[in-house]
Structure 1
């Protein structure tokens, strides 16, 4: 059965529920898609009446992060709707346009692109192919409202990252927590903004002085994984995390896709002195670092992708953006797993209240990267 966008906030004596975001990497055909040099399409058994396809960014469908979770939405659509699917992985930004064209040439009825960096190529393809439905994960491109066959799927992770920041501040023993990004783009900095403001809120409420290393919300400046290919640079992610740790951070918040795994490696190497909070998926389900993860900031990309495909197949497609929030359970905190006994009942109760205050508007988060309602 397909999971829905439903999460029960962590409560004393109650188990938390969350999305299962881990998807196995797709099987690849040996024949490349037309015009594609980065990957190959894969077909799924279906009734042949409808075909949905996906183009990844350079992280690939086994990135333990947003590509993998989005891909799960495609495979869920295959399994539950009986449709045919196709997919192609990108290895660089140069692949985006030709990979989307490969899916057009493969007679896909719906094409889902994954990632902010595919924005321009997706807009161009949607305008050039008005009879194909498009959806893009993690961006609402300027002018998309005028493109009737393009649906943005975006997430206000500033809200859930605010909870993560408060949690990190509550759990820190050194009084220093760190965050770093893959690239300075809105879908990355939105996490970092929310995280830093959650730490500040903890300081205000609890009279603490926990410092955030790696991001300054006011200056919009911080630590990012070195180029080239920063999201795939696992060693660079480890070095960046180690830099934060050397400055005293005992909890890190990597927002860097696969490169963030380097941060988890650094946390593991600390022999219990450093822990982390993952992003995009429940890291305890998608990575091998559950022992290092206090929690994760999840995005319900699999459900959003599934719903977009189903609506298109059922003739109910709308170009109105989907915005995942705490209120609609499109984003939130995953369970504490191995850290459940280490997060106090008081902190759990405070997180529950903060979530409600964010949903009601009592707490306002300031981030220029938040999707517009």
Structure 2
């Protein structure tokens, strides 16, 4: 195949994924609830079904964040097509390669690695098994002909929730709780800070990192510190660790404190509708569903796809009951400026 043909296939694949994101909904809420490797509920299995495996990072499949969103995408694939979908949870980083290999060596048609830390393991397994198809969320494996990578412009969605925080704060202090300090999470932080400052130059953004995506107690402690310093709105990008941010906010709300949380990756109102100001959607579920369905239909297209506001890959939920109309208008105005190039959102 010529290089021009390869480039054309990559372009068509990226356009197809972007179009699917623009047309599809934001996915469903709820947990996976199955033992590692368990088959998702769904319709009757077909003979020799297409098989998709998913390896979580250390946050686990029920992280209420991007691992869960990815599994929801595969669960929908099962229900829609009869594909067989399974997952394995990684308790620590040493599990990544063995878990990926378990699916690949079992002959699964597509194997997903979920999370930035999975990039090198996915690359290693793909190079060792050139006959296998692998896909990656949040990392980038380029130049390997059997890997699809999907990244997001998290900073653009984070900018918009930063606008919300800057407009809604009553203390002129807002907070950010990150998991581990690596590029994906730094994009959340940078975009959020820029959005807050664009909407409210007088607001202060307090930043803290927990160093983990699977420790709700540390998320709770981090949120407590930020609220104690005067922040009345906290945005988290910390996976399951962020559950603790919601716990702290709910406890304080019961004591009469007017504090809020901004959720991440999926609409997180189910973690506390009374304290969830809004959420920054990152449409991992739709990306996983679309790439998997493309592979199922024989159009697996290796390369890197980046999804942002233009592709409807990030944004806010359609329903934001706690946001007044004027704030929603401000969000739309800033979104338009990002889309027309008037604002370039920083990545770090």
TM-score normalised to the size of structure 1? 0.82
Tell me the secondary structure at the aligned position of residue 231 of structure 1. coil
Query: Which residue of the partner structure matches residue 283 of structure 1?
Result: 268
Residue 335 of structure 2 is aligned to residue 355 of structure 1 = yes
What is the CA-CA distance between 1:4 and the residue it aligns to? Answer: 5.5
Residue in 1 aligned with 2:21? 5
Aligned residue for 2:307?
324
Aligned residues: 324
Tell me: CA distance 1:245–1:177, structure 2 relative to 1, closer, same or farther (3 Å).
same
- Whichever structure has more helix as a proportion of its residues is 2
1:234 aligned to 2:216? Answer: yes
SS of the residue aligned with 1:146? coil
Q: Is residue 204 of structure 2 the alignment partner of residue 224 of structure 1?
A: no
Contact residue 213 and residue 240 of structure 2 kept, 8 A: yes
Q: Distance in 1 between matches of 2:25 and 2:160?
A: 15
Other structure's SS at 2:131 match? coil
Q: CA deviation at 1:256?
A: 0.6
Distance 1:40 1:20 in 2: 22
Match of 1:27 among 34, 42, 49: 34
Which of 179, 204, 219 is the matching residue for 1:211?
204
**1:136 offset after TM fit, Å?**
0.5
Corresponding residue of 2:291: 308
Residue 250 of structure 1 is aligned with which of 220, 226, 232?
A: 232
1:273 corresponding residue in structure 2: 258
Cα pair 1:295 1:335 within 8 Å, conserved: no
2:150 is matched with which residue?
153
Unaligned runs of 5+ residues in structure 2 are 1-18
1:337 and 1:291 mapped to 2: Cα distance? 12
1:261 to 233, 238, 243: 243
The 1:46/1:89 distance shift into structure 2, 3 A limit, reads farther
What CA distance in whole angstroms lies between the structure 2 residues aligned with 1:212 and 1:72? Answer: 33
CA RMSD in angstroms comes to 1.9
Residue aligned with 2:303, SS? coil
What are structure 1's unaligned runs of at least 5 residues?
A: 8-16, 29-38, 215-222, 369-373
Asked if 1:365 is matched to 2:330, the reply is no
- Cα distance per residue 1:211-234 (max 9 Å; x no partner): 1011xxxxxxxx1115xxx21111
The reply to whether residue 196 of structure 1 matches residue 193 of structure 2 is: yes
